[in-house]
Amino acid sequence: MVSVIIPTYNREPFLRHAVQSIFDQTFSDWELIIVDDGSTDGTAEFAVGLRDSRVRYIYQPRGGVSSARNHGIRASERPWIAFLDSDDRWQPRKLERQFEAISQAPEFRVFYTDEIWIRNGRRVNQARKHRKFSGWIFHRCLPLCIISPSSILIDRRVLEREGGFDERLPVCEDYDLWLRITARHPVFFLPEPLIIKYGGHSDQLSRSRWGMDRFRVRSMINIYNSGRLTHQQKSWTAAEIARKGDILARGYQNREKTRDSAGFARMAAFWRSLAVSPTRVFCTSKGKAPARTR
């Protein structure tokens, strides 16, 4: 029923726990695709040594997490797709509970769950801004990524229609995909903590870049211009771009980069005007002030 895709790079100790959490599932109708993104540690030896007919190991030259996930999607053969980051784990009933939800709400094609956060070995509470919702949640997804890749179960036809992960984005690639999906599909939130997310280690992608909002702005501008959005969705998106532009302007000002700060301030003012009267915009991929409008 489901293809589980784990992208990994030099995380063999974490990977062992992630894979074990799949073997521990009460729902057993799965295939596991481990996509090794150029690891040089013991990842290959571990994966090949699993010797289970449900497990496939794929090696690719270093291409990034989006490339690895997309490779796994192309190689998958099941009608449903699930992702598990190699530093996360599933609770034993994760898949069981999600497939029960499918039978109870067959009109939904995208399902995600609540999560437990562990940072530096200690459990931490999620902030209010990370609250999760069911239904048409596009506007809820604009401020930040509220859907963890490790929590999602998605009909592969939705992925094929909306496209996979954007391999040009070094971070926020999941945020970008969820915007495209939630713009045109309702999602079902299962309010049970069925995944465990581990953080605090040095190779987390979210710790590798300052100013993550730069990449979120790029994604929002792309979807604004994509033709996917309703008038209301475009207004929400323009307002959020303006808000993030203000945040980035202040951030660059604090770093004494006045030229960048002024550029994002101008960008914020422009997008704020579009929040009232959305139109089509042509602008640079870096989220700078637009060159022209129509």
What CA–CA distance (Å, rounded) separates 90 from 286? 36
Q: Output the CA angle 110-206-97, nearest 5 degrees.
A: 30
285 pLDDT above the threshold of 50: no
Average pLDDT over residues 247-273: 94
Please write the tens of the pLDDT for every residue from 37-93.
999 999 999 999 998 999 999 999 999 999 999 999 999 999 999 999 999 999 999
pLDDT category at 229 given cuts 50, 70, 90 is very high
The reported pLDDT for the residue numbered 128 is 86
The reported pLDDT for the residue numbered 55 is 97
Residues in the chain: 294
**Positive or negative CA dihedral for 282, 284, 285, 287?**
negative
The reported pLDDT for the residue numbered 6 is 98
pLDDT category at 204 given cuts 50, 70, 90 is low
286 pLDDT above the threshold of 60: no
The reported pLDDT for the residue numbered 200 is 72
The reported pLDDT for the residue numbered 207 is 52
The reported pLDDT for the residue numbered 211 is 79
Q: Domain limits of the chain? A: 2-207, 213-293
What CA–CA distance (Å, rounded) separates 213 from 219? 10
State the burial class of residue 258 (Cβ atoms within 10 Å of its Cβ: 0-12, 13-18, 19+): exposed
DSSP 8-class letter at 203: T
- CB count within 10 Å of CB 162 equals 19
The helix/strand/coil state of 226 is coil
pLDDT category at 281 given cuts 50, 70, 90 is low
pLDDT category at 287 given cuts 50, 70, 90 is very low
The reported pLDDT for the residue numbered 284 is 42
Please write the tens of the pLDDT for every residue from 125-173.
888 888 999 999 999 999 999 999 999 999 999 999 999 999 999 999 9
CATH class (in words) of the domain with range 2-207 = alpha beta
20 pLDDT above the threshold of 90: yes
The reported pLDDT for the residue numbered 111 is 98
What CA–CA distance (Å, rounded) separates 169 from 129? 23
Q: What is the reported pTM? A: 0.89
The reported pLDDT for the residue numbered 120 is 87
**DSSP string for 26-73:** S---EEEEEEEES--SSHHHHHHTT--TTEEEEEE-S--HHHHHHHHH
The reported pLDDT for the residue numbered 199 is 83
The helix/strand/coil state of 16 is helix
**C-alpha distances in Å from residue 266, one per residue of 197, 235, 243, 270, 272:** 38, 18, 12, 6, 10
**DSSP string for 80-144:** EEEE--TTEEE-TTHHHHHHHHHHH-TT--EEEEEEEEEETTEEEPPPGGG----BS-HHHHSSS
Please write the tens of the pLDDT for every residue from 34-51.
999 999 999 999 999 998
The fraction of the chain above a pLDDT of 90, given in percent, is 86
What CA–CA distance (Å, rounded) separates 228 from 231? 10
Residues 6 or more apart whose CB falls under 8 angstroms from that of 34 comprise: 6, 8, 15, 19, 43, 47, 55, 56, 57, 58
The reported pLDDT for the residue numbered 65 is 96
